[in-house]
Amino acid sequence: MNEPHLFCCEACRAEWRLRRASRRLPDPAGFEPEAPVEERFVERVLTAVREERRRRVTRFTRLAAAAALLFFFFAGAGREVAATSVASVEQAYAQLDVSSDLDGLLPD
Ligand SMILES: [Zn+2]
């Protein structure tokens, strides 16, 4: 390939650059050989994954139980507060009725 052609032809210039770049790449034969998969390693990873999944399920179950407990606690507490407030309103009304100071102020 003559050099002046490279200066005016874009396609050949690209090809020349590709060839030059590929020459700089390391020899593929020198690459690290693929290591054989170790059975024990795979087994350990699988065990860890299973263990993690089991732990997550346990955590979720505990969270759900805690949420249910909280829900029932607040539901019960809410009912108690409602009952208490009704009782206290009735009590206040009864006290108002008993104290007859207002009677003297009321017109006949
Ligand atoms: Zn060309």
Task: Assign 3-class secondary structure to the chain.
Answer: CCHHHHHHCHHHHHHHHHHHHHHHCCCHHHCCCCCCCCHHHHHHHHHHHHHHHHHHHHHHHHHHHHHHHHHHHHHHHHHHHHHHHHHHHHHHHHHHHHCCHHHHHCCC
Q: How far, in Å, from the CA of 3 to the mean position of ligand 1?
A: 10
Q: How far, in Å, from the CA of 25 to the mean position of ligand 1?
A: 24
Q: How far, in Å, from the CA of 21 to the mean position of ligand 1?
A: 18
Q: How confident is the model at residue 96 (pLDDT cuts 50, 70, 90)?
A: low
Q: Which residue has the higher pLDDT, 8 or 90?
A: 8
Q: Which residue has the higher pLDDT, 2 or 23?
A: 23
Q: How far, in Å, from the CA of 5 to the mean position of ligand 1?
A: 6
Ion ligand 1 neighbours, Cβ < 5 Å = 9, 12
Encode pLDDT of 37-64 as tens digits. 889 999 999 999 999 999 999 999 999 9
Q: Answer yes or no: pTM beyond 0.75.
A: no
- Average pLDDT value over all residues in the chain: 84
Q: How confident is the model at residue 10 (pLDDT cuts 50, 70, 90)?
A: very high
